[in-house]
Amino acid sequence: MSKLYVVGIGPGSADYLTFKSKKIVDSVEILLGSKRVLDLFPEFEGEQIKLDAVNIESQLKLAVSKVIHGKPVAILSTGDPGFSGILRPILELSVDVEIEVVPGISSLQLCAAKLQIPWDNTNLITLHGKGLSNELLEVIDNGKPIIILPNFKVDEVIRFLIDNGVDEDRQAAVCEKLGYPDERIVKKSLKDLLVEKFSYMCVIVVF
Ligand SMILES: C[S@@+](CC[C@H](N)C(=O)[O-])C[C@H]1O[C@@H](n2cnc3c(N)ncnc32)[C@H](O)[C@@H]1O
């Protein structure tokens, strides 16, 4: 039996792709990933399977069956596979194949680096698969910056915080399209950020 590689490719630009991840991609016959992720490897000559939110479970099972039939497969995740990435859905399939996880640079890490935040003393929160929950409100006043992967429009997250009593003058930052040529980092109060337009690809920090 071959191996299933679960590979982090970083926030999306080739600059943040690790040597190890690149080596794994060069060694496999099949790549699975979202269009954004597959686009990072235009020179890949093997089979490409596009993952999207609708077909994810069946495509993961297909990948596993290819591994069982002896094909080396890499499933690519943006950032790190272990933080709101592809690792959890794969483990939930409880498949009987050998898995190797190759870490990538998370969008959270790049956000912390850009804003010069030592992230060993922050709250790291993902809203993926959870909704706008109390988890966020529970840490909002614990004195540490909160780095948030939103899974919502930025204005919805900010509105949620203000509606739940967070001071609208509190400082925050939105890091959009990190690592891409059109990267944008905006640091302002919550109320000033509320009126800005951002894409889906953002990390929010509340200071
Ligand atoms: C499904 S999560 C995957 C997170 C990924 N595993 C990681 O470690 O960064 C996708 C979310 O990550 C964030 N994200 C991923 N890449 C990004 C980038 N280049 N710039 C800003 N945010 C990014 C966005 O919030 C996006 O909605």
Question: What's the pLDDT tens digit per position in 43-79?
Answer: 999 999 999 878 888 888 888 899 999 999 999 999 9
CA distance 24 to 22: 5
Q: What separation in Å is there between the alpha carbon of 72 and the centre of ligand 1?
A: 26
Q: pLDDT digit string (tens) for 142-180?
A: 999 999 999 889 999 999 999 999 999 999 999 999 999
> CA separation (Å) from 113 to 106, 110, 165, 178?
11, 5, 29, 11
Closest CA to 147 of 194, 109, 105: 109
Q: Which of 1-5, 102-106, 181-185 has the lowest mean pLDDT?
A: 1-5
CA–centroid distance for 118 within its chain? 19
Question: Pairing mode, if any, of strands 3-8 and 47-50?
Answer: unpaired
CA angle, corner 35, sides to 33 and 41, nearest 5? 75
**Shortest-distance atom of ligand 1 to CA 150:** 25
Residues framing ligand 1 (Cβ under 6 A): 11-12, 77-80, 83-85, 106-108, 128, 149-151, 175, 177-179, 200-203
CA–centroid distance for 128 within its chain? 10
Task: Summarize the confidence of residues 131-140 as an average pLDDT.
Answer: 86
CA distance 48 to 40: 12
Q: What pLDDT score was predicted for residue 1?
A: 66
Domains of the chain (ranges; CATH) run 3-105 (3.40.1010.10), 108-206 (3.30.950.10)
Per-residue pLDDT at 131 exceeds 80? no
Q: What separation in Å is there between the alpha carbon of 107 and the centre of ligand 1?
A: 5
Q: What is the mean pLDDT of the chain?
A: 93
Q: What separation in Å is there between the alpha carbon of 73 and the centre of ligand 1?
A: 23
Cβ atoms 174, 157 nearer than 8 A: no
User: Ligand 1: which of 201, 202, 204, 205 to mutate, judged by most atoms within 8 Å of the beta carbon?
Assistant: 201
pTM assigned to the model: 0.93
Confidence band, pLDDT 50/70/90 cuts, at residue 2: confident
**Shortest-distance atom of ligand 1 to CA 104:** 8
